[in-house]
Every structure is written in C-alpha cells, then in structure tokens.
C-alpha cells in the first residue's frame, strides 16, 4: 500500500471561533463553552481530548454503543432529527453542535444558543477531519493536545495500511430493509486505501435532491466480485429489523458470489457516528481486524 507525506493542514492550525480575549481565557481546558452535541464524532473527539466535562446534553435515542457511557450525568436532548427544544433551553448551553441531520431545526436551535455545524468539509478526508478536530480544540485552548492526537492517529493509519494484504478489494454497502446501496466510506477508501471493483454497467444511479445513490442487488455485487463485502446495517442502527447475513450470503452464492466474505460492521458506529478521533480509530480497527481474520 502506498504511503503519504502528511502534515497537519495549515487551515487546521488557524481555526478559531472565539474572540482574542476569550482565546487567552481558554488557555486551560477548564475554560470554554458548555455544549449540547448532536454529533457523536464531536462528542468522542472532546472525550479524546479530555474535554467531556463541557458536554451537558446529548441525544440518548441515537447513542452508539462505543460512546454510550457518556450518557450518565448528561441530559437527553431528543432525537437526531427531532431535537427537544425545551430540554435544550432548560440546560442553557453556550453552544450547540449540529450536522445536516438537524438542518430542519437549525433556526429553532439558533434561537436557543450559538449553533455550530461540525459537518466535515469537502476534499481530502484526513485534512477535513483535522480541521474539525482543531476547530473543536480551539474552543478550549487544547490545540497542542489535538495536534498530538492527530499525529498519532495518522501514524497508526500508516501502520494499519501497511499491514493489509496487497490486492484485496472490498465493497461497502448500506443495508436498509432488505435493500442495498453502494456506500463510499473514506476510512476504507482514503485512509486505508482499499480498492473497490468497478461498478457493473447495469447499475444505474438514483438521485434524491442533491444526493446520488447507487442501488446494488446481490447479483451486481457478485458481478463486482470483491474479496470482502462490508455491510453498514442502517436498519439495525435505527432499531428496525436487522440484516440476516445468511440470507445475503445465499443470494450472493446464487449469483456466483459464493467466495465473497460478508462482514457486518458495528451498525451504530458506522451509521450514527464517525468523523471523530475515537470513532475513526474504532472504524479503522474494525476493518483491519476483519481483513486479518481468515
């Protein structure tokens, strides 16, 4: 696998959302805003930096398993797409962290407190992740800790990438109520640089608003013939009927894909979280462990 000569993006070092006086005041992790977060990647990043005491509210219903211990001592602020505005107002947070999932409620949330969209920017994934991490760290004067964590994570990504067998191809799909669609996972494609077989010509894109999906039937996956099929089970993540792996394997086998390994990933980690210091590491570890197991 090829390496990369990464350096921390200059933009990440310049991200700051506090006025100069407040920046000086936040030189200690004891200072900085209390936050309600609807983004679990931001939550696990703050915890990784030792700043979890600033988190006062999270959406209980959508808590991924790996971070559920942080529910204790924190208020429930509703669902990812249905924030409890009264509960949030009662907490009087100084900042609310959101993503596109809360776009319909953004104006209402802004009426309660300063609202910050922490959705990753476009472009190189690790650069965008670094900008997000450094931006969060800057709220608390924790840039040095964040830079150290990012450098360690990058070194671990390089080691994980080097440990993978050459030539292994993988496809990642989302499962939703018995249907599958291609999923572009930057941890798999960009960080670990695992190649994906070409899509068959028979696969037609489907557009919903600004988003484009590529529905995949088991026969199309079998035609792609990856070594491994990784499945992110949306149905399981949101509490619906989970995927039956045996049914999928049978369908692949019937289409000539009996040699394809099926690996079902941790649903809440991959569908409800990600883009954080801890979640990205957990995702990377899950992929490398699956590929190292015969």
pTM of the predicted model as reported, rounded to 2 decimal places: 0.88
Domains of the chain by residue range: 10-160, 170-292
Q: What span, in angstroms and rounded, lies between the C-alpha atoms of 278 and 45?
A: 6
Q: Which of 294, 275, 290 has its CA nearest to residue 41?
A: 275
52 touches 32 (CB < 8 A): no
Cα distances from 151 to residues 6, 27, 144, 176, 217, in angstroms, run 9, 21, 11, 36, 40
The yes/no answer on whether domain 170-292 falls in CATH 3.40.50.1980 is: yes
Helix (H, G, I), strand (E, B) or coil at 255: coil
φ, ψ for residue 68, nearest 5 deg = -65, -20
Q: pLDDT digit string (tens) for 267-283?
A: 999 999 999 999 999 99
92 touches 105 (CB < 8 A): no
pLDDT band (50, 70, 90) for residue 208: confident
User: Domain spanning 10-160: which superfamily?
Assistant: Nitrogenase molybdenum iron protein domain (3.40.50.1980)
Same fold, 10-160 and 170-292: yes
Q: pLDDT digit string (tens) for 103-135?
A: 889 999 999 999 999 999 999 999 999 999 999
Q: pLDDT digit string (tens) for 35-74?
A: 999 999 999 999 999 999 999 999 998 899 999 999 999 9
């Amino acid at each position: 696998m090829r390496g990369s000569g990464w350096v921390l993006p200059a933009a990440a070092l310049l991200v700051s959302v506090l006025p100069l006086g407040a920046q000086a005041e936040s030189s200690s992790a004891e200072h900085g805003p209390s936050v309600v977060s609807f983004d679990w990647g931001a939550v696990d990043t703050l915890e990784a930096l030792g700043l979890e005491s600033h988190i006062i509210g999270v959406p209980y219903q959508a808590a991924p398993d790996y971070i559920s211990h942080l529910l204790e001592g924190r208020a429930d602020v509703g669902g990812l797409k249905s924030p409890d505005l009264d509960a949030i107002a009662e907490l009087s947070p100084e900042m609310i962290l959101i993503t596109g999932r809360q776009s319909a409620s953004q104006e209402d949330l802004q009426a309660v407190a300063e609202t910050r969209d922490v959705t990753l920017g476009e472009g190189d994934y690790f650069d965008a992740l670094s900008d997000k991490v450094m931006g969060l760290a800057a709220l608390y004067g924790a840039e040095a800790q964040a830079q150290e964590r990012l450098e360690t994570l990058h070194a671990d990504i390089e080691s994980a990438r080097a440990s993978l067998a050459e030539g292994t191809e993988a496809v990642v799909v989302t499962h939703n109520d018995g249907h599958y669609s291609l999923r572009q996972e930057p941890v798999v494609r960009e960080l670990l640089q695992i190649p994906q077989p070409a899509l068959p010509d028979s696969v037609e894109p489907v557009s919903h608003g600004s988003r484009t999906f590529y529905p995949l039937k088991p026969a199309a996956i079998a035609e792609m013939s990856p070594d491994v099929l990784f499945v992110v089970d949306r149905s399981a993540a949101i509490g619906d009927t989970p995927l039956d792996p045996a049914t999928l394997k049978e369908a692949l086998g019937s289409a000539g894909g009996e040699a394809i390994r099926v690996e079902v990933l941790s649903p809440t980690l991959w569908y409800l979280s990600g883009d954080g210091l801890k979640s990205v590491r957990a995702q990377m570890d899950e992929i490398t462990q699956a590929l190292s197991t015969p």
